[in-house]
């Protein structure tokens, strides 16, 4: 492919779509934070409605990635611009990994949205000018293959980013190559079909000029920066607020962690692994409302089953099963 000096004209409707998508993602994360700090009683991570909402937001983002690749590089890859953007996204992904490792060591983000955008953008380049029928076929395979094939080998952190896992490792965000590369390719397909149909002229002429449209468009152009700052901002507000409004919860959790760390380290486990194990245990107790069972010792059969499952999951974090044993 040859390099072109200028991309196609910017489509205002795409900037607006990015703005809507980043607002939707911020709403999802805000509700997740509220649930995490016990401000609302909602299973944001696993409730069906929340899962659907989160997947729709992610799908929109990755479709826009595919569309953006066609508009920016479909007539010829502008390598300097591509690598500059790729470096920014990779750098942002590394920041997310480091920040979440310290904030949530038992479920840090090792391959989330930004990691996926960086890798799938690179993998999608050969399909920007490949025969459209081939792109459709590859997209269908990438999306459908995880539905019919899975293997415990991909349950490991080291391999789960590919896809095909039976049970994903604990993480706050996992966007694997399969099936999500297929969604990026759907964006590529859609953009190419629109450009080849001539509808691009009509879309490029749409220039909404009201305050809402201008605000959304500006947010779309700055979506990466908004993505990076919105969670630290939300956590910076909600974390101290939770300590003020729910002091009994903060004290209870602090007492649980102190006791767990002491017992864990007495058993010969390293302090770092004990932090991971106890944070996992705290999440299991809180998510399943097992405080009464933990502190009174009066445990029902159902509660004991949940405690045992939490123990198994948390033990697997610090003593993972070797691949050869699976």
Residues 112-167: tens digit of each pLDDT: 999 999 999 999 999 999 999 999 999 999 999 999 999 999 999 899 999 999 98
pLDDT given at position 239: 81
Q: Please state, in angstroms and rounded to a whole number, the distance separating the CA atoms of residues 66 and 46.
A: 28
CA atoms within 13 A on the CB side of 121: 27
Outline where DSSP puts E strands in the chain. none
Report yes or no on whether pTM surpasses 0.85.
Answer: no
Distances (CA, A) of 120 to 108, 126, 149, 203: 21, 11, 21, 26
Beta bridge partners of 174: 111
Task: Give yes or no for residue 60 having a pLDDT over 70.
Answer: yes
Residues 261-317: tens digit of each pLDDT: 888 888 888 777 888 888 888 888 887 878 777 776 777 788 888 888 888 888 887
Residues 10-27: tens digit of each pLDDT: 788 999 999 999 999 999
Q: Which of 233, 119, 102, 258 is nearest to 172 (CA)?
A: 102
pLDDT given at position 125: 97
Q: Which of 227, 243, 241 is nearest to 91 (CA)?
A: 227
All structural domains of the chain with their residue ranges: 12-238, 247-325
pLDDT given at position 315: 86
Residues 78-112: tens digit of each pLDDT: 999 999 999 999 999 999 999 988 877 778 899 99
- Classified as helix, coil or strand, 111 is strand
């Amino acid at each position: 492919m040859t390099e072109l000096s200028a991309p196609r004209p910017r489509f205002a409707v795409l900037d607006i779509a990015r703005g809507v998508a980043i607002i939707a993602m911020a709403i999802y994360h805000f509700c997740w934070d509220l649930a995490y700090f016990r401000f609302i009683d909602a299973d944001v991570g696993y409730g069906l409605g929340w899962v659907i909402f989160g997947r729709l937001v992610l799908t929109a983002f990755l479709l826009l990635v595919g569309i953006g690749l066609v508009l920016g590089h479909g007539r010829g890859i502008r390598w300097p611009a591509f690598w500059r953007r790729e470096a920014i996204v990779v750098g942002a992904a590394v920041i997310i990994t480091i920040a979440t490792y310290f904030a949530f060591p038992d479920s840090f983000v090792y391959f989330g949205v930004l990691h996926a955008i960086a890798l799938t953008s690179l993998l999608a380049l050969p399909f920007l000018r490949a025969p459209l029928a081939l792109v459709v076929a590859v997209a269908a395979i990438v999306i459908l293959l995880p539905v019919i094939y899975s293997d415990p080998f991909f349950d490991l952190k080291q391999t789960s980013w590919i896809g095909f896992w039976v049970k994903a490792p604990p993480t706050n965000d996992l966007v694997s190559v399969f099936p999500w590369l297929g969604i990026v390719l759907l964006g590529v397909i859609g953009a190419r079909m629109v450009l080849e149909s001539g509808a691009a002229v009509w879309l490029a002429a749409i220039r909404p000029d009201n305050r809402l449209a201008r605000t959304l468009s500006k947010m779309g152009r700055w979506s990466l920066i908004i993505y990076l700052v919105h969670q630290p901002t939300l956590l910076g507000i909600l974390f101290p607020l939770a300590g003020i409004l729910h002091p009994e919860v903060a004290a209870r959790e602090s007492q649980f962690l102190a006791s767990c760390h002491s017992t864990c380290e007495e058993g010969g486990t390293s302090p770092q692994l004990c932090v991971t194990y106890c944070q996992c245990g705290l999440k299991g107790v809180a998510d399943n409302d097992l405080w009464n069972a933990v502190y009174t010792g009066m445990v029902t059969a159902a509660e004991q089953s949940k405690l045992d499952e939490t123990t198994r999951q948390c033990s697997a974090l610090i003593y993972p099963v070797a691949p050869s044993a699976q």
